[in-house]
Amino acid sequence: KAGVTQTPRYLIKTRGQQVTLSCSPISGHRSVSWYQQTPGQGLQFLFEYFSETQRNKGNFPGRFSGRQFSNSRSEMNVSTLELGDSALYLCASSLEGVNEQFFGPGTRLTVL
Amino acid sequence: AQKITQTQPGMFVQEKEAVTLDCTYDTSDQSYGLFWYKQPSSGEMIFLIYQGSYDEQNATEGRYSLNFQKARKSANLVISASQLGDSAMYFCAMREASFLSYTGANSKLTFGKGITLSVRP
C-alpha cells in the first residue's frame, strides 16, 4: 500500500510569489491535515480537510489556504510569500476511527 | 489551551541500552490522546506509539513503551535495546477530544519541541 506522497519535495521561491503544495493521502483515507515545521516555532497545525470540507484550522494568516478534492488529494496554497514561510510542510492522512496519522515526507519550501 | 513540554535538549545513549524521553502535557480535557513520533533526518514523521487518556495499561509497541502517569500529566517514551537507527528527533504530541469529529477521525495534533536522540556504537 503506497504511503502519503507530497510533491514537490523541494521548492525555492522569492518573496511575494505564491506556491501550491500537493498531498496524496493513503488510499481510503479521507482526512488530510497539514503542518508547518520551522526551527523556531516547531510543528504547527495549519488545517485539516475531511471529505472536501475544511474541518479545523490553525492560527495562520489568510495567506495560507487549502482545499481537498473528491479523491481526497489535498493542496495547500500560500500567497504573497514571506521569508518566514520557509519551512518543512508536512501532510498527514488518517482513517476514521483510527488514532494514527500517517505523514508524508514533506515539502521543503525556501523563500528567498 | 493544550501544551506539550519536552525539556531535554538532547540525549545520548549507548547502543543496546534503554533510554527514556520525557514529555509532560497540559490540558483541561478529560479525554485526549498522546502520541510519540520519530523524525529522522529525512524529515518524515514516523508514528511510534499511542496512549489514550482512559487506557489503564501503558501502551507498548515492540521496543517502544509509554510510561503514562496521568496524575502527573506525563507520557514518557521508553526505548529498550537502542539501535543506531534510533538516532533521530522524537516528538511528543497530543490530540484533545474536542477536536474529534463525529466520525472519530483525527485532527490537530499539538506537538512538543522535540528531543534529539543520538545512539552511540
Distance in angstroms (rounded) separating the CA atoms of residues A95 and B105:
6
* Cell output for A27: 488510499
Helix (H, G, I), strand (E, B) or coil at A2: coil
Residues on chain B bordering chain A, Cβ-to-Cβ distance under 8 angstroms:
33, 35, 37, 42-47, 50, 52, 91, 93, 99, 101, 103-114
* Cell output for A106: 514533506
Distance in angstroms (rounded) separating the CA atoms of residues B82 and B64:
10
Report pLDDT digits (tens) over A38-51: 998 999 999 999 88
Report pLDDT digits (tens) over B16-35: 999 999 999 998 888 888 99
Contacts of the segment B62-68: beta carbons below 8 A, 24+ positions apart: B64/B36, B66/B34, B66/B36, B67/B20, B68/B34
Question: Hey, are the CB atoms on A45 and B110 less than 8 Å from each other?
Answer: yes
- What is the residue-level pLDDT of chain A in tens, covering all 112 positions? 679 999 999 999 999 999 999 999 999 999 899 999 999 899 999 999 988 999 888 899 999 999 999 999 999 999 999 999 999 999 999 887 677 889 999 999 999 9
Question: Hey, are the CB atoms on A103 and B91 less than 8 Å from each other?
Answer: no
Distance of CA A103 to the CA centre of its chain: 10
